Structure 1
Amino acid sequence: MDLREESLYLAPLYSRFPLTIVRGEGVYVFDERGNRYLDFASGIAVNSLGYAHPKIVDAVTSQVKKLTHISNLYYTEPQIELAKRLVRLSGLDKVFFCNSGTEAVEAGLKFSRRWGKERGKYRFISTVNSFHGRTMGSLSVTGQRKYQEPFEPLVDGVTFIEFNDGAALEEELKKGDYCAVILEPIQGEGGINPARREFIETARYLCDKYDALLLFDEVQAGIGRTGTMFAFQHFGVKPDMVALAKGLGGGLPIGATIINNRVAETLHYGDHASTFGGNPLVTAVANVVLEEVESLLPHIRKVGDFLGNLLRERIAPLDDVLEIRGIGLMYGIDVKSNARNICERCIKEGLLVITCGKNTVRIVPPLIIGEQEIKEGVYILEKVLKEGSG
């Protein structure tokens, strides 16, 4: 493949690594020359069951032969089944399906405004360093100036507070015109920053006290990534809404916004919609993903602990490393040297890792990864970090 063709035919929006991936198997991917790479990135936390998982292959093959799309003007069995699963697993009440993370967040924002309209509430509270998407609504609640500035003016009515600052949250909510607080239980793109339990508990308490909705963005942290089906389950707190995408489709594009009845009761025909959302193909696959991930949760917790311990043992003491944060199979390593350069050097050694935050190496492998493969990847990363600081 001639990499120069990208600049001829594709919009100049991505800074790609100089690597062409042609296939994947399990937790490995292969380039056009047949070189193998251990994947610690999962297509940005998407490929939850790795590559060419037999049950996903079977689900795709079977559903393509029957029905891929018919629109939401009609009923389809895979969509109803997936909604039932998500309601059961989340403890919430209703589901809206769409096609991506930013769409799932946008739906949550619209539903919040709809709920708040008759209450005279329309504003949102978000957090500094958050990331909620790239469309105008989700971008407006994203707490990173580098993403927002080129597209201003954005949607108004958004206030940002520091992450984990419960006092600042109350100071804003008491003003009375906020319809919702949007939070990532673990900030993903912002650098893998887990929320403190007391902050999440405080957010729930304050939203109830001041009559605002609590919307969790679990586009990256949800669907088993942290060792529980939803990241909010680590905190013993239930949101009014949760936005999902990435790992839910196991590689196919899907988004979902799960809501409670308090929100659902304010929605009416025509308030929101998606032509492709919840189509039979992606929902058939997502049903398989949820079934597999639910059974994998003990494994994810086990290998997640193994990964965390190995990172603290082998990576944390290195001169180039500033801090390690994470939970389950979602870790960030702050480094002194250039994180992008570290990722490029890891590729040469047969490992895919990606960046996030200001200068963080992100580790989000497929949920099926084993301890031996974790060792393999961490040892490669250790070698690269040692060479960079030596």
Structure 2
Amino acid sequence: MPADLLTCTTAAPPPAWTPDTFAPAILNWFAQHGRHDLPWQPPTTPYRVWVSEIMLQQTQVAVVTPYFTRFVTQFPTLAALASAPLDAVLQQWSGLGYYARARHLHRAAQLVVKQHCGELPTTLEQLTALPGIGRSTAGAILSLAYGQRQAILDGNVKRVLTRCFTVTGWPGEPAVTAHLWTLADQLTPSAATVAAYTQAIMDLGATCCTRAKPDCAHCPLAPRCQALALGQVADYPAPRPRRDLPVRAVQWLVLRSADTGAILLQQRPPSGIWGGLWTLPELPLEFDAAQWCLAHTASQPDHSVTLAPRRHTFTHFHLDIWPIVMTLNTVPTQFTAAAGQQWFSVDDCQTLGIPAPLRRLLAELSSITISGN
């Protein structure tokens, strides 16, 4: 094994952990302090591991837990997921964010049924060929569900390794990522203990070696943690280089029927931001909402209320939303048939796949009278 990968280049480092000592230390800690009652364990089936790993991408266990329980109740098997309408899948995902994960999960289930007789593949190459499954997710599935010796490198593992071995640079940089993958592979134990180790190192990062206020006093890796020895735990991992996010601003048109209170929604294209979800008609700020309503419905809104703007932040930009609630006394028949658009009651809206800011906006509508006063 290359010695420079498991040693620190800073002055007077503590003795480095080695593959022979690293995994046993974590496994001993896991036996007493690890999480053994997560909803996807047991039963630890390939399907349940897969769903949980997709949900846990960029999302904490506490947030995922209720979503996972509802999801596998609605779709208890891979075949059930594959045969479900995408709308039903997105509805169960609504509020969890990063909706491409749900679309990829659904599409991958269909491909597994078609190409692999309904059973998740058992090789890294076949798994990573499926939508939404990267190398780390595939490694987690293969180690946790199949007991294969495969390394993982999720956010928790990156944090543990960068601190323990003082790996400099932002982990998202290709060279740093490659270095961490080499470390992760070297430190992963044999197949006999790989499933426990995989869960153990994720638990260690999630509950002990946390981003803020890590519990170094109870960490099994503390005796040889190089960042701790240098008093630099807070410096690792290096943060993503800061950049100012651009801001986009739009109007959301809340068209309501005076007779029924129904609201017009439109389904977004299958790809892109909020792909496949139901949202409100959207206009640039400079567009006249009343004129749009007249042009598209042949009806002038009887009442209009502009609500306070709100901001929703995506990974790459901020979205400032300006909702305008407009009441129509008459809902033209031809408008209801427009492609991708449909009228829903407020209660029915809650059963659809809708983004979180729209869910919050719909909750506000109960306090807005139909007259707009």
Q: Scaled by the length of structure 1, what TM-score is found?
A: 0.29
**Larger RCO: Structure 1 or Structure 2 (Cα < 8 Å, ≥ 6 residues apart)?**
1
Structure (1 or 2) with the greater strand fraction:
1
Q: Scaled by the length of structure 2, what TM-score is found?
A: 0.30
